[in-house]
Amino acid sequence: MKKTALLNSDISEVISKMGHTDEIAIGDCGLPIPDETRRIDVALIKDIPSFIQTLKVVLLELQVEEAIIAAETKDINPKVYSEIQQCLENVKITFISHEELKQELKKCKAVIRTGEQTPYANIILKSGVVF
């Protein structure tokens, strides 16, 4: 049995195959995922699992050098923005428009769809290296 915290085999597989600067996204249940991007759907019911719960688990397994979020997040969902900052204390955060973020999803190895039902609870994580 797997020893690390992340038990979801689909998420673990994607992370294990990621190289430096590859991207994976975590989104709320309303985020439009491009057809060409792999969807890992962990949504069960409203807010389960939450965006932040999912982010925290992914961060246990993935070395992140940069996070990309929609600039609108700061004003429209300051609670989630604050939680993101707490989770990513030493990680560069880049802001782009929500429309640009949706386009950037096409470059991601996968998008993890959560049960989150608050606006702009979305992030793209850029893989770093552990050496």
Q: Is 8 annotated as a binding residue?
A: no
CA distance 75 to 38: 29
Residue 81 counted as an annotated binding residue: no
Asked, for residue 1, whether it belongs to a domain, the answer is: no
67 is in an annotated binding site: no
| Catalytic residue check, 90 | no
Residue 11, pLDDT score? 97
Residue identified by tokens 């470059």 is 107
Name the active-site residue from 7, 9, 13, 20.
Answer: 20
Side-chain-side CA neighbours of residue 37 (13 Å): 23
CB atoms within 10 A of CB 72: 17
Task: Assign 51 a pLDDT band (cuts: 50, 70, 90).
Answer: very high
5 lies in some domain: no
Average pLDDT over residues 17-37: 97
Check whether 120 is labelled as a binding-site residue: yes
pLDDT at 1 over 80: no
- Could you tell me the pTM of the whole model? 0.96
- 2 within some domain: no
Domain assignment of residue 110, yes or no: yes
Tokens of 52: 């932040």
Return the closest-CA partner of residue 121 out of 11, 39, 24, 31: 31
- Please tell me the total count of domains within the chain: 1
In a domain, 55, yes or no: yes
CATH label of the domain that carries residue 72: 3.40.1650.10
- Structure tokens, 29: 């249940």
Quote the domain boundaries for residue 122. Answer: 22-127
Domain assignment present for 16:
no
- When pLDDT is cut at 50, 70 and 90, the band that residue 3 belongs to is confident
Could you report the per-residue pLDDT of 74-120, keeping only the tens digit for each?
A: 999 999 999 999 999 999 999 999 999 999 999 999 999 999 999 99
Peptide bond into 78 cis (omega under 30): no
58 sits in which H/E element? helix 51-61
Contacts of residue 108, Cβ cutoff 8 Å, sequence gap at least 6 = 23, 24, 25, 37, 124
- 12 domain-assigned: no
Asked if residue 10 is part of any domain, the answer here is: no
